[in-house]
Amino acid sequence: MSSERLQKIIAAAGIASRRKSEELITSGRVQVNGQVITELGSKANPETDHIRVNGKLLQGAQRHSYLLLNKPKGYVTTMHDPQNRPTVMDLMRGVKGRIYPVGRLDYASEGLLILTNDGALAHQLMKAASHVSKTYLVKVAGTPTEDAIAKLRQGVSIATDEGKRVRTAPAAIRIVKESANPWYEITLIEGRNRQIRRMFEAVGHHVEKIKRVRYGPLTLDVPPGEYRSLTLQEIARLKSATALQAAPGARKPAKKSSR
């Protein structure tokens, strides 16, 4: 086997995602043949070099796992929580090997979450340029006007966690249940932290519930708190979706009219 970038080797071994693997390297927690490596461009041969992460010898690439979880609300999407709140990893009993969530659903949100140890795929899904669509059912306090919904479809200015202002990409929105507190189906091609909540706050409405029901080619089909393995066909379609949407000129989801 020829030399490969260290972050790719670490991700393939299921230690962390590609992005987290890069952080491990830059923070000086990776050694190759006894030498601390901090440069991201560094390469190694996983078959002949002794690679240690946090002092532990890398055992090489492990078999990839791909799981779909129906996350209930009241769980955080992290490996460990400093506040000792329940994490999605508490729901993954019986899973062999190390896996980690792709992206996040916040504490009060629920629905489809992918977990894997395929660092390359996780990296492709999480980077902003992937544009893999994600669909949510959203319950809103009060009834937004047609003008407000039109603004959300076109994109609105929201604050990021860093305090900057960004404009959201166009979103597909349709109403699925009319009431004093209506439900909408919303499809996004990006996934900023608390994006949907901040989008509706921008037009004067509080979001009461969020449930992710689709992620690219995947559809939520297991009860809350349960998980299943992806089929070979689903894995292939998910990988194809990242390749397709990252290609130049990839199309954005069509806007849906309200009914």
d(CA 218, CA 158) in angstroms, rounded, equals 28
The CATH number of the domain holding residue 43 is 3.10.290.10
pLDDT of residue 130: 61
Q: Which residues are catalytic?
A: 106
Q: Within this chain, do residues 52 and 128 fall inside the same structural domain, yes or no?
A: no
CA atoms within 13 A on the CB side of 110: 15
Say how many domains are in the chain.
2
pLDDT of residue 118: 87
Q: Within this chain, do residues 36 and 163 fall inside the same structural domain, yes or no?
A: no
pLDDT of residue 200: 97
pLDDT of residue 171: 95
The CATH number of the domain holding residue 148 is 3.30.2350.10
Residue 180 burial (10 A CB sphere; 0-12, 13-18, 19+): exposed
Q: Token match 């999605």: residue?
A: 88
Token pair for residue 213? 């029901």
CB of 143 closer than 8 Å to CB of 200: no
Q: Within this chain, do residues 83 and 41 fall inside the same structural domain, yes or no?
A: no
- Averages of pLDDT over runs of 10 residues in the chain (259 residues) are 83 83 94 92 85 84 85 94 94 87 93 92 77 95 97 95 91 96 95 91 96 97 96 92 60 42
pLDDT of residue 144: 96
